[in-house]
Amino acid sequence: MPNDLPQLLFLQVVYILIMALIIRYKLKKGQSAIFYWLIAALYLFVAICLLHEYITMPTIGEGGTWFAIEMYGMFVPGLLVGAALIALFVDYVRRDFKTKR
């Protein structure tokens, strides 16, 4: 079993913190955060599936499987959080443009 679990868990904590801050920002502004809650739910599902695979993986096995799980553990949640950040930015710019008109 590789020793990358602490780094993966740290990265997941960073992703979760970013999602929590986005949702908090939207709720504080009094805006709908349903889209971000859906992304957070999908993120949680993906993270649980990947963590389950990581834990149940045999200690002796092929290295390619470890690489795939670790790569998806960083890549897929990162894409979800990135999509949330892009949506937040687009929504911010759109609302700013509407107020200046």
What is the predicted pLDDT for the residue at 41?
93
Q: What is the pTM of this model?
A: 0.77
Q: What is the pLDDT along the chain (101 residues), one digit of tens a residue?
A: 556 677 878 888 899 999 999 999 999 999 888 999 999 999 889 888 877 877 777 767 666 777 777 777 788 888 999 999 999 999 999 988 888 87
Contacts of 80 (CB under 8 A, 6+ apart): 15, 39, 42, 43, 46
What is the predicted pLDDT for the residue at 61?
64
